[in-house]
Chains A and B, each alone.
Chain A
Amino acid sequence: MNCLEFRRRIGAEPRSRDPEILAHRDSCKDGCSAFWQRAQRFEDDLEAALAVPVPEGLADRILLAQATGERHRQVGRRRAWMAMAASVLIAFAGVGMLWRHADLNSLPALAVAHMPEEMDAMSLTQPMTDAQVEAGFVGRATRLKGPAPAGVTYVHDCTVGPYPAVHVVTRMDDEPVVALYMPGKMVDKTTEFHRDGWDGRQVALSGGTLVVMAQGASRKTRDTVERGWRAAIEGPVGQAVGRI
């Protein structure tokens, strides 16, 4: 490093600890050491001059602003979470109310709700004639296409919820099984239900819906009654297939 380079570097970086610079300073006989000394003193003066007074409490004000902002953000985040939780709760409550409303208006719920006013019919044991049974269906503009199951002890045209229905009780193996046929009321699929002590099934038929249910009757009995009423309403299987 020559003197020119040394002075150029010191002019830009007086505090440099570059070994090359320091070596030149220590070895140069042409006044570079004195130049370096003057540069250091100038730098000391410059540093002292640039150190303007700092406003009192600056650091504390910075920390206060940060802490206040952070607290504000925390409150905001908490409020956002609470709002979100409230929204979820309201959504759940809404869905729950909709589900409950739908459930209370489902066919099984309406069928079970219909039963208290018809409990006396469950204790009848006297079989009805085929003509009486057919007459009951005619009251709901439905003609039976097959023979009614044996052991029908009750036929009545009722209203299940908003739906006109034929209410029949079939006694099989001394177990009363209720069948409610709602012509024109269509459901998508056959579903089982257990509700308020009633075991039952809603069955989609071609012209309406059949609800078969009983209290304590075996599944086999209910299945037999369902098959019987399906055949009576839609006709025997062969006939129904033939129509298709």
Chain B
Amino acid sequence: MGRDNPAAEEALNLLRSRLCDPNFIFKPLSDSPDSNYSKLKFLVSSSVTEACNNSILLLGPRGSGKISVLELVLNDLLSEYPETISVIKLNGLLHSDDNCALKEIARQLCVEHQLLFSKMASFDDNSQFMIEMLRECGLAHKTIIFVLDEFDLFAQGKQRLLYSLLDAMQSVTSQAVVIGVSCRLDADQLLEKRVRSRFSHRKLLFLPPSKEDLQRLLEHILSLPIDSNIPHDYAVEFNGKLKNILADGRFKEIINSFVDLDSTVKHLLRFLFRAVSYMNLESGFLSLENFKTALSNSQRQPKQECIKDCSVLELYILVCMKRLEVKEQTSYNFISVMKEYKSIHDSFQTPDYYSRNVCLRAFENLLQRELISFADNRGYSQSVEFRPVKLLISHVELHQGLKSYRSCPAILLKLVER
């Protein structure tokens, strides 16, 4: 791409890498004293300096920056007290099994303290090792921070890991912080009684950013640095144009209509990424148009798209099924759909009447598109024709889909509207 502007390419790369790096995004939101960042940092650093045990839950919807803020805090603390902190990170998606989790803890502890890790160690060995290490670290005034991502998944099963962790923290000698991160607001209710009584019940709630924060965030993310290897004049011009866009009423409208759907930061980042990647490399500046196309491309209606993809015959089958449902037939299968199809053909003399085999193929295509599905999971031995089916779209959706279909037969619309 020789004709393109190298400065613009560099700027685009910078913006893209920023949008993929959550640590960069959450920096500006952490200044104020009542932000989650300051609270969390205060809690953890006090338990590090005062050598006590602690446990905290970070709760908030997916993509609201719990892990990113925690990372920021941990990075700061690691640079402040490099000698006295070691961090163990677990993820509920990977280590919800107790055995697995303890093995991972042992592995990370070994890596941290340059010990030899044995893959063959049993559950008991590993838990013994962990408790031993907790005591040793406590004696050496080192804090171990356990980060449990997807905390709710650790609460499945017997919760042996949580119990042994929190129980070990009851003694005076140990020195550890357990930080649970979850998108379930009722995560602490999932705990067993013996575990809950050992938990501190400190919770930090992560809320979506306010309108002012959002504005600040946008500016922080999208504006180019003046003092870097990007040409100075270009960066200044870029920022000037960006300011105009950000102040534009239409832009605010776009952002608002997007944030109304889902106001988490991660969601917004995905949107911005789309907009930024549409940037015209020749001119090298963002335009309002980019955001508009990004909005129209990210607000999708999958079911409508799916109906638009259907062929006319498939639409006939959908309409037949809808009619059967309106007739309050409790359950129906391909054979009864075909009966309905034939009755429509008999009464209206439609041009689209095909043999059973062709319809069966269209029916299977619909199953594959997941516009319809089998009503139950039983009866695998039955052939497709006889298994009861159901529609996966509402009647309104079907009606809208038919209306926006390019060349929908008039008879189908008539049948649906009745």
A and B associate in one complex: no
Interface residues of B (CB under 8 A from A): none
